A and B are shown apart, each in its own frame.
Chain A
Amino acid sequence: MDYVFYILAIWIVGSGLLAILQRNLVHCAVALIAFFAGIAGIFFSLHAEFLGAIQVVVYVGAIAVLILFAIMLTRHVTGEEEVSPFSRHAIWGWIASAAVLCVLLYSLDKQMFAISAEPSQITMLDIGNAMMQRYAVPFEVISLLLTAALVGAVVIALEEPRERK
């Protein structure tokens, strides 16, 4: 089992580095897809098949496709324009990634050594029950938030209908 983990870990780190170091935007996105697939592999190797499949459905099937679609709708579609990581606009990206890193480090510090070595079997039934009972309200709130975001995106994207005679 350890070999599987190490192979997947090399795969994930490699594709993650490719995703951030390449200049071509579409190449980055493709590397990101490989990265997501590697994470799904980790889930599968931990016998969390449900999470692994959801990882592929959500990240590869939806988010990566969304990213690719967004790239196609911009003028960066050829992927040849280069953006320097030290330009003026990139500062916000640096701040955001630093914030995410802080949150991850904090949670890692809290969680990492509390996890037992033996992964407990979590069935779909448990996940369903947790989502429909204990976490029903947060779940609904998040979906409401997403709906609001969607409506907002449509309002921003929608052009005013032209006056017709």
Chain B
Amino acid sequence: MYEFFDQIIFKIGNVIIAVLTWLISLFATPPAWLPAVVWFVFKVVLIIATFPAIFAMTTWAERKILGRIQNRLGPNRVGPVGLFQPIADGIKTLTKEDIVPAIADKPIHTMAPVIAVVASFLVIAVLPIGRNMIGADLNIGVLFFFAAGSISEVSIFMAGWASRNKYSLLGGMRAIAQMVSYEIPFILSAVTVVMVVGSLSTSQIVSAQQLHLLVEDPEGLGDLLKRVVFHFYNNIGGWFVFQPWGFFGFVIFFTSSLAELNRSPFDLPEAESEIIAGHHTEYSGFKFALFALSEYISMIAVCGLASTLFLGGWNGPHLLPSWGWFFLKVFSLMFVMIWIRGTFPRLRADQLMGFAWKFLLPLSLINIFSAGLWYHIPSRAFGWLASALIMGGAYHFLSRGVVTRDIEKRIYRFA
């Protein structure tokens, strides 16, 4: 039963191949390349169909959750609890007039959203969504992720520049300065995992987080309990987030990914109270929707990479199929992102830069060192302790260093 749900995509693909082979064999001999091509198309269609659907539901969930946080209802007009709101939005953006400013640089203005969407979809290809479910199992998976992700910076610049609008240009400049700064801790925090696993392949990183403790005597009731405990431990205990370097790496990765995605509290590039909407001020209709699509797809992808690197990828006890675990982790991380958006105020530009260069960058460098120490100390417990001590000390002293003035205890006077 578990096997069936775990491998369901695999089985559907095989059924499609079987049906196609049968259909062709009625007229001619099926060519040898048929299964490979069908698999290729099937994967691409699956990614292009699934992730925009998740994007649509994410916009709804985000508005609903933000509404709950801000004590209002959120969308509730279209469909039950506003569930069809994304469809209404999609139809609205499709039928809207596409307004391009008269002085805009038209080719670049048009190309920018397309490049943004392409870059965000490329990234999905290397994420292991479930057991045997990966778009392209490259041996440089993590590097490919960062390479394709860096293209989105170019698209934001193109959008900001080609609009010929001061707000757009300011937004583009802010976005690039911020993304270039936060890209360093973003990548360095992932380096720890690559170093410990010894591979850039995402599927190998996932399998490195599985433990293989065997039960010696699998009989009797006491052993059943033992087996359950061992099963849970095997599938959860190996996640890198439980190691000190992994925990800090995860937090650094998650924080800097918020800045990479231009999400609150690092949403200066589209700060609506300062520069209208940043680089997509001059976009309307479906081009604007494409930008939104690329932002949310990148958000899903970054959460997916975070769970692949630190949260064990699709590993989990066999209560859910492997892809179920993956999406559970991704949606939990996305919920935290939305939660942060509803809770934290926006940073100032100097705070943003100071945080990246004075705090996250040294912390991620020390984290690499502590991961190396953890790896080379033979005793796991001692290594864990050493790594935790280093990271704890570094966190303590670096956070003191960022504070530029003495923080006094705020005294509230009521009336």
Contact = CB atoms under 8 A, between A and B. Distances in A.
Given A50-B143, A56-B151, A69-B176, A61 B183 contact: yes
B148 interface: yes
B124 to A, nearest CB: 16
A113 B144 CA distance: 31
Interface string B164-185: 1000010011001100100100
A104 interface: no
B18 interface: no
B158 interface: yes
Contact of B169 (A24, A54, A72): A72
A77 B260 CA distance: 24
B200 interface: yes
Contact of B147 (A24, A61, A68): A61
A65 B143 contact: no
Given A30-B108, A57-B146, A64 B154 contact: yes
A56 B158 CA distance: 17
Contacts of A50: 140, 143
A30 B144 CA distance: 21
A49 B200 CA distance: 11
Contact of A124 (B146, B161, B200): B200
Nearest to B150: A61
A19 interface: no
B150 A57 contact: yes
B25 interface: no
Interface residues of A, number: 24
Interface in A28-83: 30, 33, 40, 49-50, 53-54, 56-57, 60-62, 64-65, 68-69, 72, 77-79
A12 interface: no
Contacts of B148: 56
A8 interface: no
B143 A61 contact: no
B147 A65 contact: no
B153 A27 contact: no
A73 to B, nearest CB: 8
Contacts of B153: 61, 65
A29 to B, nearest CB: 9
* For the complex of A and B, 3 pairs with smallest distance between CB atoms: A61-B150, A56-B147, A53-B143
23 contacts: A26-B108, A30-B108, A30-B154, A49-B138, A49-B139, A53-B144, A53-B146, A53-B147, A54-B143, A61-B146, A61-B153, A65-B154, A65-B176, A65-B180, A68-B157, A68-B161, A69-B157, A69-B173, A69-B176, A69-B177, A72-B161, A77-B161, A77-B169
